[in-house]
Every structure is written in C-alpha cells, then in structure tokens.
Amino acid sequence: MEMVGEHLMTAGRGRAAWSESAFERVFAEFYGRIVGALCRMLGDRAQAEELASEVFLRLYQRPHEPESYDNIGGWLYRTATRLGIDSLRSAGRRALHERDAGTHLATAPDTPLEEALRAERARQVRRTLARLKPIQAQILMLRSNGLSYKELADALEVKPASVGRLLARSEEAFERAWRRVNPRQ
C-alpha cells in the first residue's frame, strides 16, 4: 500500500529535513542513554520513555545541520533534563496536596522494607531536585550520569570555565533543599 501512497506524496520540503539514516544513527546512539537519564531522574520508566520520545520528536522537527552534529548529544541531554525537571516540578506541585512520606510506604505492603526505604529516599531526592533552579538540577543529574565538565559545558551551553562554579553552587543548593525536605537527616 505504501507503494501506492509513495506515488501520491509530494516531495520537497522547505527546509533541510533529517534523512532517515542520519536520524536513525543519532537515535541508535542516544536513545538508551536519554531514557536512562530520564528514568533515573523520574523513577518511572513509562514516563521516561514518553519524555524521551518527546525529546527525539523535537530533534526530528529541528532542521538537520550536519555541522552541529558534534553537539547533538548535548542538545539531547539539555532538552531531556529540562523536560525531566519540569515534570518533577509539576509532580511536586501535585504532591503538595498529598500526605507525606509514610503514605508511600503503606501503598507497597509487599515490598521488602529495605527496598521500600530506598524507594522512599529516591522520592525525596526527586522532591529535592524539584526545588532547585532547573539549571542546578540539570547539572547535578547530568554529572551523576557521568558527564565530564567539558560535556556538561556543551550540554548546558555554558562556558567550560563556569562549570565548576555552577556545580559548587548547585551542590550547596541541593544540600540546603535536602535539609528542608528531610529535616530528620
């Protein structure tokens, strides 16, 4: 059927669109990593995959400039972590109306205690991230995904020289926010 459909498609689009093979290459190289980064950030695989799809869809809709290929990874990480942070923040706003901590534990009676505690702690880490400035949360997440300072600078489009300062401030901010989220610690 596609053979017939192909006949009736109009060719030629206004801008440099992605060739299927170029897009496929980028997709193959980065999809798993982007899902991984989002999954850690959100703790929800389905949501991570949904956002990752959104990220690649946005990429697909951008004009394809081969010369900017070097920094596609950076663009993907930046876009993904930004979407992830936005999502964490809106989840945080929803959570304001929920009861705290213990309710989560009670909802998973079958989980071994250790696992439940770990999950609870991960939730608190996410709530902490949601309280930071987006760029602070982004840089912390990206570093914890193993990006070097140079890669962080590329991904976040900041000067390499300012990565250290941004990181130091972000860690301070994280620590303060963590104490507020979790005063018992």
Partner 1 sequence: MCIQDDELLARLDGELAPAEATAVDAHLAECARCRERSQTIAARSAEVTALLSELGPAEAATDPGFVLARLRARALDIREEQDAGGRRWFGRRWAPVWGLAAALITAVCFYSGPTAAMAQKFLGLFRVKTVVAVPVDFRFANDGDGKVLSQMLSQSVTVTKNEQPQPAATRADAARLAGFAVRLPAMRQDAPRLTVTGEQASHFTVDMKRLRTMMDLVNRPDLELPAGLEGARIAVDIPRGVRAAYGDCEKRDAAQGCLLVIQTPVPTVATLPEINLREVAELGLQVAGMTREEAARFSHTVDWTSALAIPIPVDAAGYENVEVDGVKGVLVTTRARGEHPAWYVLVWIKDGIVYTLGSANNPSLAVPLANSLG
| Residue from 93, 121, 133, 180 in contact with partner 1 (CB under 8 A) | 121
> What is the smallest separation between the CB atom of 75 and partner 1, expressed in angstroms?
16
Measured over the CA atoms of residue 169, residue 151, residue 44 and residue 94, the dihedral's sign is: positive
Core vs surface per residue 115-153: b (16+ CB within 10 A) or e: ebeeeeeebbbbbbbbbbebbbbbbbbbbebebeeebbb
Name the residue nearer to partner 1 (CB basis): 97 or 183. Answer: 183
24 interacts with partner 1 by CB under 8 A: yes
Nearer to partner 1 (CB atom), residue 13 or residue 94: 13
Report, in Å, the least distance between residue 125 CB and partner 1.
5
Rule CB under 8 A: which of 68-107 touch partner 1?
A: none
| Footprint (CB under 8 A) of partner 1, residues 29-48 | 31-32, 35-37, 39-41, 43, 45, 48
- Contact positions vs partner 1 (CB under 8 A): 1-13, 20-21, 24, 27-28, 31-32, 35-37, 39-41, 43, 45, 48-49, 52-53, 56-57, 60-61, 118, 121-122, 125-126, 128, 140-141, 144, 148-149, 162-168, 171-172, 174-175, 178
